[in-house]
Amino acid sequence: MYFKVILSELMNFLNTASPFEKAKLQKHVDQCTPFYLFILILFSLTAVAFSCGPIVMDRPFPAEAWYPFSTNPLPISCSIYVLQIMVIAQAAMCIHMDFMIAFLLWYAVASFEILGEKFRRVENEVDLRNCIVQHQKLIVFVREINRVFYVMILKTPLSMTISIICSSVQLIHHEPLPVLSQFILLLVVCSIKLYITAWPADSLIHASENIASSVYESSWIGKSSTFLKSLNIVIRRSQKPLIISITGILPPLSLRFYAS
């Protein structure tokens, strides 16, 4: 239900956006795509490093596991090897869920920037009413993102923290160089993964707050009291930034949270 609302909002934007609005969104896509491609390559290299571990290490399978049967027969050992590679690949490909959340947040950031430009050009109450309606829709859209993906938002910092701790434990032991190389890669990608969503979430905080500045920069001098009251309400609402968080469990997702 909620995911359909998000998809319909995106499809409506793509079908009705002006060249200026598409350029705003494309600017953020161009800004983050190289970094996300770099992370995708790192995750792929980590998956390959673990999958090819038995080639350079004295163990039969990529992951250490105990089976209640003999793994010496060739069909069984091949089946186990393929199964473990599939599990490793699946774990690596989960990064695409983080990419999807990140791009939805970047869309919200671009939408707030577009709305800010519209607020600056407001000339009458009809324009103001349309901007206020769009502002309310964006607030609902961000809340829907938080509601739909709250499990992913909770999972990422918890799973990455556990992975970093486990990888660090491997580094302090006197393991062979191939094993250390695997866990160094894992430590790096786990440290970076949270940044995928923290970056756009932090930008969303600032973009939603900047609506107040855009409203103040509009042509409000000499307008009616009703017009000014509406502007004041928008400014006061914008002073409460939109955040991505799990209330009572995790603080707002931001660069400050990532750095901590």
Domain boundaries, given as residue ranges, for the chain: 2-17+94-259
Tokens found for residue 246:
């799990």
Q: What is the DSSP letter of 17?
A: -
| Closest to 88 (Cα-Cα) out of 12, 194, 165, 185 | 185
Give the pLDDT score at 133. Answer: 93
Residues 6+ apart with CB under 8 A from 160: 190, 191, 193, 194
DSSP element (H, E) containing 76 = helix 74-93
Going from the C-alpha of 51 to that of each of 65, 170, 181, the distances in angstroms are 14, 18, 13
Region 168-182: mean pLDDT is: 76
Tokens found for residue 229:
């009251």
- Over 80: is that where the pLDDT of 182 sits? no
The least confident of 46-50, 137-141, 210-214, 232-236 is 46-50
- Over 70: is that where the pLDDT of 2 sits? no
- Over 80: is that where the pLDDT of 178 sits? no
Q: What whole-number distance in Å separates Cα of residue 183 and Cα of residue 161?
A: 14
Q: What whole-number distance in Å separates Cα of residue 120 and Cα of residue 51?
A: 55
Tokens found for residue 238:
């914008």
* Residue 219 near residue 59, CB atoms below 8 Å: no
Q: What is the DSSP letter of 251?
A: P
Q: What whole-number distance in Å separates Cα of residue 211 and Cα of residue 233?
A: 12
Mean pLDDT of the chain: 85
Amino acid residing at 258: Y
